[in-house]
Homo-oligomer: A and B are copies of this chain.
Amino acid sequence: MLPKALDYESLNENVKKVQYAVRGELYLRASELQKEGKKIIFTNVGNPHALGQKPLTFPRQVVALCQAPFLLDDPNVGLVFPADAIARAKHYLSLTSGGLGAYSDSRGLPGVRKEVAEFIERRDGYRSDPELIFLTDGASKGVMQILNTIIRGEQDGILVPVPQYPLYSAAISLFGGSLVPYYLEETANWGLDINNLRESVVQARFKGITVRAMVIINPGNPTGQCLSEANLKEILRFCYQENLVLLGDEVYQQNIYQDERPFISARKVLLDMGPPISKVVQLVSFHTVSKGYWGECGQRGGYFEMTNIPPQTVDEIYKVASISLSPNVPGQIFLGLMVNPPKPGDISYDRFVRESKGILESLRKRARIMTDGFNSCRNVVCNFTEGAMYSFPQIRLPPKAIEAAKKAGKVPDVFYCLKLLEATGISTVPGSGFGQKEGVFHLRTTILPAEEDMPAIMASFKKFNDEFMDQYEDYRGYSRM
Contacts and interface: CB of A to CB of B under 8 A. Distances in A.
Interface of A: 2, 4-8, 10-13, 15-16, 18, 20, 22-24, 31, 42, 45, 47-53, 55, 57, 60-61, 63-65, 67-71, 74, 76-77, 79-80, 96-106, 137-138, 140-141, 144, 148-152, 156, 167, 170-171, 174-175, 212-213, 243-245, 280, 282, 284, 290, 295-300, 306, 309-310, 312-313, 316, 319-320, 322-331
A322 to B, nearest CB: 4
Contacts of A325: 23, 45, 138, 140, 297
A61 B65 CA distance: 10
A418 B31 CA distance: 55
B55 A64 contact: no
A245 B330 contact: no
Contacts of A45: 103, 325
B174 A320 contact: yes
A151 B10 CA distance: 9
Contacts of A329: 298-300
Contacts of A96: 298
A4 B210 CA distance: 12
13 contacts: A6-B313, A12-B152, A23-B319, A50-B98, A50-B103, A53-B98, A55-B99, A63-B67, A76-B76, A80-B80, A100-B299, A103-B297, A299-B330
Contact of A64 (B6, B71, B101, B144): B71
Count this chain's copies in the assembly: 2
A102 B150 contact: no
Nearest to A301: B328
Contact of A313 (B8, B149, B156, B306): B8
Contacts of A148: 12, 15, 174
A49 to B, nearest CB: 4
A320 B15 CA distance: 7
A298 B11 contact: no
Contacts of A6: 149-150, 245, 282, 284, 306, 309-310, 313
Contacts of A331: 328
Contacts of A316: 8, 11, 15-16
B299 A18 contact: no
Given A64-B64, A98-B51, A150 B12 contact: yes
A13 B152 contact: yes
A321 to B, nearest CB: 9
Given A310-B6, A313-B7, A298 B326 contact: yes
Contacts of A64: 64-65, 67-68, 71
Given A64-B64, A102-B297, A22 B322 contact: yes
A154 to B, nearest CB: 13
Contacts of A295: 101
Residue among A2, A45, A57, A100 with the most chain B CB within 10 A? Answer: A100
A276 to B, nearest CB: 10
Nearest to A332: B298
Given A18-B320, A100-B296, A328-B330, 6 more contacts: A5-B156, A11-B152, A31-B105, A138-B324, A297-B325, A299-B330
Contacts of A67: 60, 63-64, 67, 330
Contacts of A319: 18, 20, 23-24
A100 B60 CA distance: 10
Given A23-B106, A313-B8, A55 B101 contact: yes
Given A11-B149, A310-B6, A49 B328 contact: no
A243 B2 contact: yes
A212 B7 CA distance: 11
Contacts of A306: 6
A95 B8 CA distance: 32
B4 A282 contact: yes
A20 to B, nearest CB: 5
Contacts of A171: 323
A289 to B, nearest CB: 9
